[in-house]
Amino acid sequence: MTSAAAVAGLVFRELGYPAQHASASTKIDGIKPSPFSTTETVTPAKDVTTYNNYYEFSTDKGGPSVAAKDFKTRPWKVTVEGQVPKKQVFEVDDIIKMASPEERIYRHRCVEGWSIVVPWVGFSFSELIKRVQPLGKAKFVEFTTIYSPGQMPGQRSSVLEWPYVEGLRLDEAMHPLALLCFGMYGESLPNQDGAPLRLVLPWKYGFKSIKAIDHIKFTDKQPYNTWQRSAPSEYGFYSNVNPQVDHPRWSQASERRLGEFRKRPTLMFNGYEQVASLYSGMDLKKNF
């Protein structure tokens, strides 16, 4: 374990970590700190692991931490296909070993108006892109959550179209902030938070940060993501955090940080202004 991870471990203990895990969790060794981390107060693990959105398991915030308890995350294969020189099927642990784990303490803003600050563990998704070398025709990346209705009770209902799909433009996926995530609070991800592998896109509304990924497809067409399919006038492809573009049914100007009473203003791109150049010249009201 590096000294930085040891320091982080100390802070975690003071804040009352470790996380509430529905399943056995493993400490991740060699985690390096990241310059992308915020110094804002980290939300207690107890809250982040018991207040979840994960419709495959439940539509209640408290449901996934109970219903995902026995979800099997090993063995787990991840297929990388589409506009790549050859389709490849990886063991998830081989993906996790592709680069050194970093701790990224990010703000996470849900489209519903609540937010948290989480010490995620992972590395930039661009590390995987570098290794699979997408072809010139690849302009987008589509991510899919595992389809396992036997294990995921929500997939036996029609609350959403299954499996859950998300997507990014290739340049968004290449941005160093886009995190391929397999841990939080220094340990492997709890099932309810997206084990074994998820995305974390801190400048976008939380629903873009897809959990339990088992397919990654490089494509020349813009993916049609699940929430856009479900309500196209309410959820767009980009879904960048934007306090000036309200959801048709509620304001996006402010948010409630879990554990706080008063609302705080929501920041453009959730405060991650370094992504602004990805969208220069675009009408962000139209491309919501």
User: Contacting ligand MTE (CB under 6 A), which of 25, 34, 50, 52?
Assistant: 52
User: Given candidates 210, 216, 241, 275, which one binds ligand MTE under the rule CB under 6 A?
Assistant: 210
Residue number with CB closer to ligand MTE (170 or 258) = 258
Q: Which of 25, 43, 50, 53 binds ligand MTE (CB under 6 A)?
A: 53
**Please, which residues have CB within 8 angstroms of residue 5's CB and are 6 or more apart in sequence?**
29, 30, 31, 32, 103, 186
- Residue closest to 197 by CA, chosen among 270, 133, 127, 139: 127
Residue 237 in contact with residue 222, Cβ under 8 Å? yes
Using the minimum distance from each CB to ligand MTE, give the nearer residue, 53 or 240.
Answer: 53
Among 5, 67, 78, 110, binds ligand MTE (CB under 6 A): 110
**Cα–Cα distance measured from residue 9 to residue 221, given in angstroms and rounded to the nearest whole number:** 43
Helices (H), 195-286: 226-230
The residue among 104, 139, 143, 149 whose CA lies nearest residue 123 is 104
Residue with smaller CB distance to ligand MTE, 175 or 211: 211
Give the nearer residue to ligand MTE in terms of CB position, either 140 or 162.
Answer: 162
> Using CB under 6 A as the criterion, what x/- string covers residues 54-83 for binding ligand MTE?
xxx---------------------------
Secondary structure (3-state) at 287 = coil
Measured from the CB of residue 280, what is the shortest distance to ligand MTE in angstroms?
A: 27
Question: Do you find a cis peptide bond into 163, omega within 30 degrees of 0?
Answer: yes
The stretch near ligand MTE (CB under 6 A) out of 14-22, 29-37, 46-54, 266-274 is: 46-54
Q: How far apart are CA 203 and CA 2, in angstroms?
A: 29
Q: Residue 7 is encoded by which pair of tokens?
A: 């320091």
In the block, residue with structure tokens 């990241």: 34
By the rule CB under 6 A, 120 interacts with ligand MTE: no
**Binding track, positions 176-195, relative to ligand MTE; x by CB under 6 A:** -----------------xx-
Residues 245-284 that bind ligand MTE (CB under 6 A): none
Shortest distance, position 37 Cβ to ligand MTE, whole Å: 17
Residue 2's nearest CA partner among 151, 103, 76 is: 103
Question: 84 vs 160, which CB is nearer to ligand MTE?
Answer: 160
CA 100 to chain centre: 18
Size of the site for ligand MTE (CB under 6 A): 16
User: Stretches 19-27, 53-61, 135-143, 278-286: which one binds ligand MTE (CB under 6 A)?
Assistant: 53-61
Q: Which residue is nearest to ligand MTE (CB)?
A: 206
Which of 209, 216, 201 is CA-nearest to residue 278?
201
Q: What minimum distance in Å lies between the beta carbon of 277 and ligand MTE? A: 25
- 233 burial via Cβ count (<10 Å: 0-12, 13-18, 19+): exposed
Which residues in this chain contact ligand MTE in the complex, by CB under 6 A? 52-56, 110, 145, 164, 193-194, 206-207, 209-212
